[in-house]
Amino acid sequence: MENQKVCVGNTLESNKTGAIVDIVLTPYIDVCLILKQFSRENSLFIIDTTTNFFSELPDYVDDINNCIKTQTNLDNFNTFPSNDSFADFDINTQLEENVSFLKIFPCQSINKLLNIFRKLKNIMKGHLKCILLIDSICFVVDRQPFLVKQIMNEIWEVVYETKCTVFLINYLKISFDSGKAEFVPRMGEAYGKLVTNRVFVNKNEDLCDIAQFCP
């Protein structure tokens, strides 16, 4: 897997009409560092199923404020809702006509995930160069594995209706299928056919491969 970088799909053509990019992440890569790969012009939406962003964002306040144009300070961005209500954190700015935007949805259930998708179809239409980042798509397998295809269809509907680019965080697991212990993506081959591109991030330097898929 170490020699695998980016595969599946045509980058330039995909970005014209929206795309779904699978990011296979090794356990020691900090997911918050992905935010540094996005442009200041991107409108960013995050679905956080792992609490990684809520627990680690305070450590990356400067990085986020540098890549997301916002007048809002993120110093207090460290509270994760204890319930599964439709709470979300909304950070945006009125600096320019073509402003950047950051909205984070905590998500702890499949029903909540589906509700967020419906909401995003309306919200994203008012923003340009939209990026949807889901950490992590493995959440679906953990909760209801038989719904993976349905969830991917829902994500594709968001792409078709908003022309956004979706980044799905796909963590690794240890597999013994080959007779020895090795890391493999938790989301398997069938899921891999439902995305347009795949990026393997084995070390921090590989994160720069993500930027080429940004709208």
Please report the domains of the chain, with CATH numbers, ordered by start residue. Answer: 6-213 (3.40.50)
Taking the CB of residue 114, how many other CB atoms lie within 10 A of it? 15
The pLDDT tens digits along the chain (215 residues) read 433 444 444 333 444 568 999 999 987 788 878 877 887 778 888 898 887 766 665 555 555 555 444 333 333 333 333 333 333 444 443 323 333 677 778 888 999 999 999 999 988 887 888 999 999 999 998 889 899 999 999 999 999 999 999 999 998 887 777 777 667 778 877 888 899 999 999 888 888 889 889 88
**pLDDT for res 99:** 37
- Report the distance separating Cα 177 and Cα 137, nearest Å: 22
> What secondary structure letter does DSSP report for 131?
E
**Closest C-alpha to 145, from 186, 175, 198, 178:** 186
Cα gap 195→166, rounded to integer Å: 10
pTM of the model: 0.77
Quote the pLDDT of residue 155. 97
pLDDT at residue 106, as a whole number? 83
Res 147: pLDDT: 93
